[in-house]
């Protein structure tokens, strides 16, 4: 093992990234999936850029990684969300509102964790958030816009009236933070119907998008 470790340390970063990625070069080594190799490669690049040899940015070296990324702001916490939306466990899929423009749009997050109740069945060997639940989460963010006084809402129930042009771009897995933006495009107050556009992101990349037709009502 000592000889193996020394040979690995002697590789340049580019050579080490081009090698097949395994955990411990031994008879019991575990091969990583392509996604895991990509994530590990990125983490290696970050580590090498902040190493003592790369002293181009000394200020970044002094900041621990857990302090480099600010938290999402809180415009509405879960208690306020629960006062507006009628949903409850296990179907309340919005954790925090991070931006709200009255009568126009809302941006909210859903922290996707392995403890979410849908993962044991979707799928046991590869936990992926169901696409229909991403759409449901986005619709709930739309409800936070619709059920506000600025658009004539009065804490009534709201329903899907239609959904169109939905596309799923990338899988969402446990550990991701789903960031959802819902924008009001057209509102017919007389009939309580609104057309909204929605996009959901993970790490700044679109994972889901579509057009939503929603209606308010007490029945």
Q: Which residues are catalytic?
A: 122
Closest CA relative to residue 152, chosen from 107, 184, 180, 199? 184
Cis geometry, peptide bond prior to residue 123 (ω within 30 degrees of 0): yes
The DSSP bridge partners found for residue 193 are 188, 215
Q: Do 113 and 182 form a contact (C-beta atoms < 8 A)?
A: no
d(CA 212, CA 195) in angstroms, rounded, equals 6
Residues in CB range of 177: below 8 A, 6 or more apart: 72, 109, 110, 111, 112, 202
């Amino acid at each position: 093992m000592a000889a193996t470790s020394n040979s690995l340390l002697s590789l340049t970063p580019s050579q080490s990234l081009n090698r097949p990625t395994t955990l411990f070069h031994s008879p019991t080594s575990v091969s990583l999936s392509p996604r895991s190799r990509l994530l590990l490669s990125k983490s290696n690049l970050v580590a090498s850029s902040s190493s003592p040899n790369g002293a181009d940015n000394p200020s970044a070296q002094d900041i621990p990684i857990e302090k480099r990324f600010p938290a999402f702001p809180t415009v509405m916490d879960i208690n306020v969300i629960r006062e507006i939306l009628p949903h409850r466990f296990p179907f309340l899929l919005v954790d925090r509102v991070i931006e709200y423009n009255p009568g126009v749009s809302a941006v909210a997050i859903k922290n996707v964790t392995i403890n979410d109740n849908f993962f044991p069945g979707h799928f046991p060997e590869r936990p992926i958030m169901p696409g229909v639940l991403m759409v449901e989460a986005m619709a709930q963010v739309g409800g936070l816009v619709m059920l506000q006084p600025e658009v004539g809402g009065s804490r009534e129930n709201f329903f899907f009236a239609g959904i169109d042009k939905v596309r799923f771009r990338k899988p969402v897995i446990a550990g991701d933070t789903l960031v959802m933006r819902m924008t009001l495009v057209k509102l017919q107050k007389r009939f309580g119907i609104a057309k909204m556009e929605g996009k959901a992101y993970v790490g700044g990349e679109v994972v889901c998008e579509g057009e939503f037709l929603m209606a308010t009502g007490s029945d």
